Chain A
């Protein structure tokens, strides 16, 4: 693939520009609705360097997809755009996107950053041939003939392991199996060698066997191009396998963040404990019982006061003076590059983890 020069995305850079390839600061995405304001993302910060993979985990409705659509600048499109309130900063390669014009963001989308969606059918148009859609995605950013673009499309299909790409390029999405469709979408997302790839639950709907193929593919491609990858998933097994860093979301906010090994081996937040405890694991002795997180995910319209997790947290009463219910905990440094938003004093956290949680995982 020819490295087409990606024209100065650096222009408009200010002194605040961060060093990380992608840096999100205090992102808020709110949707005003008849029932009230849905605070889907409410003050989220993270960064990803090139060649690294950040996994965002959390239960459904915690704001994962809204975050990724925000980075891609997709909230402000069309009718949807009128009904969203976004604030904060998103720095991609030294360029701020929240304040940028939609046109500027569009130029970056598909070229500097690309996305693999949860549902491949929603990203591919059912009435157009798979190949034509990839050709289209390529020609938006490259002035090449249709023929050249087609060659490129075939090459990409081949790259993602579609058998007989020269034939399949003329197939329609419904003629592909789920796994092939997902691979075709990856081919489309990667056709311009994006430097940032966001994969929103790319394997959730797939069988483990196909999932293994897709994860391998993403990993190989990342290695080759050194892209930054954001992997959104609720499968902690997938996270452990591919992420360098992990961000745990709850109710639109980050509750824990750190290097994957840190978060898996020394998780600090009660919600993360809950996630780990509720998961049956194939690599361990079968435990008597799973330890579910009780209750239901929080409303994002009436977010619980104080710590949003308090109605479900078994330790909500451990911190003194009812702070869990009254004061929202901010992220605090709890280890090297490891942050957690919880009022539990360090010694209680340590004790609960070693005595109550770790032995049962």
Chain B
């Protein structure tokens, strides 16, 4: 959006954080292993029985003059991260430094001078302005709080700010209810800019606005960045907006950053499976592409609870590539390509990081029913590579291994027979809770029994369960064959009586 963004994205992409390229922008904000846990207390003694791990160990930095976008599904911790880096909430652990100064543990008093430099714009243009105060008093509040007397007086400065954000100076004495959502968002921006901050953290600055108005605010923020040299952290769930405004983008999942990359790299060649799924779900306003939703990846179920996040890679309960290592070992966020950091054992668009680990978890097999063939077939080189290293599998398995997913035709016959086998081996329509590979969304912050992995691996005490723990002959080729979408019609063949029940139709899934 800014000129720099247009012109030097390529240059910037070539400047990873570690490489000390000469033209690297100065780091304004640096966050290391940041965590924010909200304790859950129960009973009269208010004993802590658990914690909502809203932000659970994230690292990133924001460079002067850039816009860092933060995306992720609802509840993944974006807003919490925003409130913690602006020190509106205290972090549980980790460190935050601003212009080289450690601000992690500064007291409210010690933070006060920094409040001028770090500002936040909130999600809700309706809720964030006090209805009883005039626009003038809202926008001038920062001056009063900081005891700052701008040149020419507060009123004059406020009127200048109102003009800057496209409002009229005459609005000074009006009240918030007299303004539309877009105008209120502008008021919030004027207030945030009053003290000429260095860093502005904007939490969903445009999501409550209509597209036409949204575009006005996006352009405004862009102009102000140019004019005032602002640095932005923009949190949003709309991937099209984030792509438009950001230089670099962090993708969050369940309190973690799973991928952090240059805007173009992220959108053109996402490496984390979650990023890829997220991106593929964005509806595109182009009727010509309808029907051929070949790249759409549907994720099963909802995001697991942040109280008891899954072990290993948190995405393993919904990832179609998950293998044993994903369940046991947390992947670190490492820079695989210049300027592209990703936390995944089996990244997309890149060489497999754990090629020896080839046996898909059963959750992954279920998930892959919803993944289009085009995606499964992708990255032939990566697959080939991992295949080369495969030693565990016996002969027939080998060619059904990584590329079983890729190679539709080959997988097909087996898939069918395997589906048949599974149904027949499971004659009882057990009313017993059907262990869905998909995590149970638990809206309540209640202590949950346990993280997913257990129920899951147990649940799959099905034919292929043996395959999971140790990739040995038991890991029949058919294990992967499920990647074939066909038998997907019955994702849970076990639990359903399913007599002939004609009206029963396939579960919602991508085809």
> Which residues of A pack against B, CB within 8 Å?
1, 59-60, 155, 158-161, 163-164, 166-167, 174-180, 206-217, 220-221, 224, 234-242, 260-261, 264-265, 274-283, 286, 288-294, 296-297
Q: By the criterion CB–CB under 8 Å, are A296 and B505 in contact?
A: no
Chain B residues with CB under 8 Å of A163's CB are 301, 434, 436, 438, 440
Instruction: Chain B residues near A240: list those with CB within 8 A.
Output: 283-287, 289-290
A264 to B145, CA, bound (A): 50
Cα distance A23–B302 in the bound complex, in angstroms: 38
Chain A residues lying within 8 Å of B410, measured Cβ to Cβ, are none
Q: How far is the CA of A174 from the CA of B152 in the complex (A)?
A: 53
A288-B290 contact in complex given A208-B278, A234-B211, C-beta closer than 8 Å? no
Mark each residue of chain B from 229 to 265: 1 if its CB lies under 8 Å from any CB of chain A, else 0.
0000000010111011000000000000000000100
Can you list 5 A-B contacts with CB-CB less than 8 angstroms, sorted by A residue number? A177-B443, A212-B510, A240-B290, A286-B263, A292-B213
List residues of chain A with CB within 8 A of the CB of B441.
176-177, 179-180
Assess whether B286 is in contact with A180, with CB atoms less than 8 Å apart.
no
Q: Complex formed: what's the CA distance from A224 to B508 in Å?
A: 12
Contact A280 B218 (CB under 8 A): yes
Of all chain B residues, the one with the shortest Cβ separation from A287 is B244
Report chain B residues within 8 Å CB of A59.
210-213
B279 CB within 8 Å of chain A: yes
CB contacts (< 8 Å) of A274 on chain B: these are 212
B residues 416-445 near A (Cβ < 8 Å) are 431, 433-434, 436, 438, 440-441, 443-444
Residues of B within 8 A of A275 (CB): 211-212
Q: Could you tell me the dominant secondary structure of chain A's interface residues?
A: helix
By a CB distance below 8 angstroms, the chain B residues around A241 are 283-284, 290, 293
B452-484 with Cβ < 8 A to chain A: none
Give Cα A209 to B253, complex, Å: 12
Query: What are the residues of chain B within 8 A of A234 when measuring CB–CB?
Result: 210-211
Task: Collect the chain A residues with CB atoms within 8 Å of residue B132's CB.
Answer: none
Q: How far is the CB of B58 from chain A (nearest CB, A)?
A: 20
Interface size grouping (class) on chain B: 35 or more
Q: Are B285 and A279 closer than 8 Å at their CB atoms?
A: yes
| A203 CB → nearest B CB, Å | 9
| Cβ of A209 to closest chain B Cβ, rounded Å | 5
- Residue B509 at the chain A interface, CB threshold 8 Å: yes
Q: B88 at interface (Cβ–Cβ under 8 A)?
A: no
CB-defined contacts of A178 to chain B, threshold 8 Å: 74
Inter-subunit contact A220/B285 (CB<8 Å):
no
Question: Are A282 and B289 within 8 A (Cβ)?
Answer: no
The 10 nearest A-B residue pairs measured at CB? A237-B283, A278-B215, A292-B215, A280-B244, A293-B212, A177-B441, A290-B215, A217-B508, A59-B210, A236-B285
Nearest B residue to A2, CB-CB: B503
Instruction: Say if the beta carbon of B158 comes within 8 Å of chain A.
Output: no
Q: Are B215 and A279 in contact (CB under 8 A)?
A: yes
A282 touching B243, Cβ below 8 Å: yes
- Verify if B347 is at the interface (C-beta below 8 Å from A): no
The answer to whether the Cβ of B298 comes within 8 Å of any Cβ in the partner chain is yes
B299's partner among A1, A209, A237, A291 (CB-CB below 8 A) is: A209
Give Cα distance in the complex from A275 to B507, angstroms.
34
Q: Are B182 and A296 in contact (CB under 8 A)?
A: yes
